Amino acid sequence: MLITPVILSGGSGTRLWPLSRELYPKQLLPLVGIHTMLQDTVTRLSGIDGVEAPLIVANDTHRFMIAEQMRQIGVKPVAIMLEPVGRNTAPAVAVAALHASSQRKDPVLLVLPADHVIKNVASFQAAVAAGGRLAKQGRLITFGIVPTGPEIGYGYIKKGKTLGAKDSAYAVDRFVEKPDLTTATKYVSSGSYLWNSGMFMFRASAFLKELRRFAPAMLAACTKAYEASHGILTSCGWGKRPSPHALPTR
């Protein structure tokens, strides 16, 4: 099974101002080591079976910095897709899914924000491998993080029924956006909730099918934008390479 990583690097990092600024957002800074957070996001994929070169979705302002940072770690992205205006996660992933589908029949996408700190790389890689097995079946995977405390700055995922002991996977009962402290404390104490990591895995067709069902106007706009820009992508030499479920990680 081949996996196409989709790295979301379009944020401006306003919550870390003034360290992180619009021209140098946090994902382009070496905040926790010698590499930038974007570089760490890409390099921690090394060693996962079937992972191909990343497809990076980024702000148009950062195009040259991202290309240079990838060159520094010896990675040639399959594409760098540029957003003239940030429209959040779903449209960015939609355009990435359209492009990935044009290069390979129904690829499995691993969607990763470029600003995560993950200390237990082995656990992360094991969760990705498990997610790949489920995504191959057509499931939509979201990765949860076992909470260490009642954090009110994160969204939460309530676990549903177990899908199989082998992969420690659960159906998603519901998503909750940033609860207050009292509610978050109850969630953590219950053991039934995970932090919502914002990482996902699915076949491109499965994600596009759900968008077509629940957000057809968004998908139509993304398709129109992608088709209008396709000539620019190919002329630059990019892209020349031949119901939700949760997985907890620590």
Contacts of the segment 231-237: beta carbons below 8 A, 24+ positions apart: 233/79, 233/81, 233/99
- 110 membership: H or E segment, kind and range: strand 108-113
Question: d(Cα 69, Cα 233) in Å, to the nearest integer?
Answer: 20
- Mean pLDDT for the chain? 87
Question: d(Cα 151, Cα 137) in Å, to the nearest integer?
Answer: 33
Nearest partner of 7 among 103, 101, 80, 98, judged by Cα: 80
State yes or no: pLDDT of 162 exceeds 60: yes
| Encoded tokens for 233 | 């992508």
pLDDT tens track for 79-133:
999 887 777 899 999 999 999 999 989 999 999 999 999 999 999 999 999 999 9
Nearest partner of 4 among 71, 68, 97, judged by Cα: 97
| Cis peptide preceding 18, ω within 30 of 0 | yes
pLDDT tens track for 194-232:
999 999 999 999 999 999 999 999 999 999 999 888 644
